[in-house]
Amino acid sequence: MAISVEENGRLFNLHTEDSTYQMYADECGVLLHTYYGKRTEGENLTGLIYQADVGFSGNPEEAAGNREYSLDCLPQELPSDGVGDYRESCISLLHEDGSMAADFRFEGYEIFPYSYKVEGMPALYDNGEETGETLVITMREKASNAAVRLFYGVFEKENIITRAVRVENRGKSGIVLAKCLSCCLDYQFGEYDLITFAGRHVMERTPERSRIRRTKLEVGSLRGTSSHQYNPSVILCAPETTEDSGECYGMCLAYSGNFTACAQKDQRGQTRALMGIHPEKFSFRLGEGDAFDAPQVILGYSDSGFAKLSQQYHKILREHMCRGKYQYTKRPVLLNSWEATYFDFNKEKLVALAELAADLGIEMLVLDDGWFGKRDDDNSGLGDWYVNEKKLGGSLKELGERIHGLGLKFGLWFEPEMVSEDSDLYRAHPDWALQIPGREPNRGRNQLVLDMSREDVRDYLYGRLADIVENAGIDYVKWDMNRSICDIYSHQYAGSRNGEVYHRFVLGVYDLMERFLNRFPDILLEGCSGGGGRFDAGMLYYSPQIWCSDNTDAVNRLEIQYGTSFFYPLSSMGSHVSAVPNHQTGRVTPFRTRGHVALSGSFGYELDLNKISEEEKAMVREQIKDFRRYDSLIREGDYYRLAAPGGRFCAWEFVDGKKEHALQILVMTSAEGNPLPVHTVVKGLLPDKNYRCSENGRAYSGKTWMGAGLTLHAVPKEYESVLIEWEMVDR
């Protein structure tokens, strides 16, 4: 059993193949966190907890005068606000009498032989024979009828533990939930670094590593989405941890809205890390019988470096978060019209583009922004999801039939959550937009945000999307979202309940996506928010691939895809070959390099095929053959980061599950006169098997390759790339 309970139902061990997570409900009813790390035999580890009389750290009444017992110093599973723990808390309550204490004590537990669900939100699910187990611990608030149910999921083989929280009002008096984080990890000993993934639009998810000290480290989003600026995933690690050695812990939030992740040492040098919905601008009223569910945090542990931790996340998200037909099915090679035409297109242009795409072996044409309403730029038309037949020169169905007739799939761009003030929808329903009465709203791209917490808004959007997709035989939808949210005011939750709107907005988006996918289960949905502004585990529940960044520059993409790879599988990263000079950076990189970088993701093109040379067209055919050949290796294989961006070159490697085939890609990022040789490491092979290398034709044992590495015959020039294979052979 992955979950064991001993000592009269007070000692809880969660075991994966390589790790143990232990809790103990002590004599005062406090649920202590005793251990998370390398797998143990499950012995009671409360002896690791050091207690002493610490000045200005008070004692709860259950301590019966024991001045060495203080919530301010103990490692806890549910640190609460206002009752003597002065560190960061997980939960804060406002009671009807105006008090704000939240003092929870252990009540009981349940165990279930399956994975739990989170109401209205994504969560890891059981997949065939690979099922999880669930422990639910109930905590009761001492002076009210509030209760908390702590959910712990265990995926034993995958080395993953999950956490979620449900707050219940079991009394007749209303309470307001002012803060509800999903996870707390307390570490009594050791020095730790915190790795966060920060950035901005078109430069997302750059790793930043900082030592955790007594000054709080915190990242998060108040933009209404998980954001380009900070990703809802962090790593805690020992200072000496590298790709291949050292302890590290991952925390990944399955949520697409406002979040916080923080870590800090306390007065005794203990480290506390927390993650969940951002408490700023958040409050949630719970009446009699109401409950609130906080999103799932996915925890991972590795005692042998970042590569193993990443591989655990890649596997669990690919196999237990992604869903639908395209969870495992090969993705079609697509051509997106955006950088080919922008808003300037008609049916003839699109059909000509599709004919050329089909000739080159591309499998799908995606029509991006501009096909609906009055939409010739980004200042009008959003919300009017009716086909502009005048612009297209006919119906979308007719266009779809032409494209399908060429043997291609047909995809379409939507931005359902937005509305232009210059639109029929806004003129008819101004109250459907999030904006504060009596104030001029902030505008992003001259658009406002629809109130997705409203069922009538979601019903309208569902009706329009479903009608268009069904009528035109759409095979793929790119679901975009192109501004941050502010001016929070919902006419439905006006007054004291506007603190619920950010969260209800996210629930509304999830609800609409779920309804849409239930109607069209075979469609390929690609998430997007100006590229990577909503690239999170929660969104993968609906879209197995997400447009990684609006930045298609191959050299910048090395950095973006490198940071993204720490948590998210390569199969989830939308990555395309685009034109040069690049439309974002002006950089010129070789066509082959652009193909190699895009190969490490869900592959496609973002350019005008009419403007590329015959030589480049031949390369398109070869790149598509490569994608088909390496698809399962890249999508399902183990991924290794070999050389980070920022040096002379960047390199990475894929190894298939049987370790019979390995693929390494290297991009030279700087050049110099009289160059030094380029030498790369090799990882993931079987030591006692032999492998032949495509670069030099030599066959050595896996042990030799991994020990000696590979020196390239020729030093690539700046921005050139090399693709190298190893295949198992009998020598």
Which tokens in the block code for residue 195? 């790795």
Q: Backbone dihedral region of 383: left (phi > 0), alpha (psi from -120 to 50 degrees) or beta?
A: left
Q: What is the tens place of the pLDDT at every residue in 85-123?
A: 999 999 999 999 999 999 999 999 999 999 999 999 999
User: ω into residue 113 within 30 of 0, thus cis?
Assistant: no
CB 113 within 8 A of CB 37: no
Locate 670 and state its tokens: 């700087």
Helical axes 455-472 vs 501-519, angle rounded to 10°? 30
Question: From the CB of residue 519, how many other CB atoms can be counted at a distance below 10 Å?
Answer: 13
Residue appearing with tokens 């110099």: 672
Q: Is the dihedral of CA 603, 608, 612, 614 positive or negative?
A: positive
283-341 pLDDT, tens digit per residue, is 999 999 999 999 999 999 999 999 999 999 999 999 999 999 999 999 999 999 999 99
Which pLDDT band holds residue 65 (cuts at 50, 70, 90)?
confident
CA 569 – CA 549 distance, rounded (Å): 15
pLDDT at 244: 98
Dihedral over alpha carbons 261, 264, 266, 272 (to 10 degrees):
40
- Residues 205-249 pLDDT 10s: 999 999 999 999 999 999 999 999 999 999 999 999 999 999 999
Q: Which of 616, 638, 653, 656 is catalytic?
A: 616
The angle at the Cα of 592, spanning 591 to 598, to the nearest 5 degrees, equals 90
Q: Mean per-residue pLDDT for 539-557? A: 98
**What CA–CA distance (Å, rounded) separates 266 from 415?**
45
Rg (CA), the chain: 27
pLDDT for 731 beyond 80:
no
pLDDT, tens digit, 9 for 90 and up, residues 597-616: 999 999 999 999 999 999 99
pTM: predicted TM-score of the whole model, two decimal places:
0.98
CB atoms within 10 A of CB 228: 26
Known active-site residue 536: yes
Question: Which residues are CB-contacts of 462 (< 8 A; sequence separation ≥ 6)?
Answer: 512, 515, 516
CB atoms within 10 A of CB 264: 19
Instruction: Provide the Cα torsion 306, 309, 311, 315; round to 10°.
Output: -160
What domains does the chain contain, in order, with CATH numbers? Answer: 3-320 (2.70.98.60), 325-547 (3.20.20.70), 643-729 (2.60.40.1180)
Q: What is the pLDDT of residues 675-694, one digit of tens each?
A: 999 999 999 999 999 999 99
Q: 493, 586, 480: which is closest to 225 by C-alpha?
A: 480
Catalytic residue among 141, 422, 480, 536: 536
Phi and psi based region of residue 610 (left: phi greater than 0; alpha: psi -120 to 50; beta: remaining): alpha
* Residue 293 exposure: Cα atoms within 13 Å on the Cβ side: 18
Q: What is the mean pLDDT of residues 484-506?
A: 94
pLDDT at 442: 93
Task: Say whether pLDDT at 544 is over 80.
Answer: yes
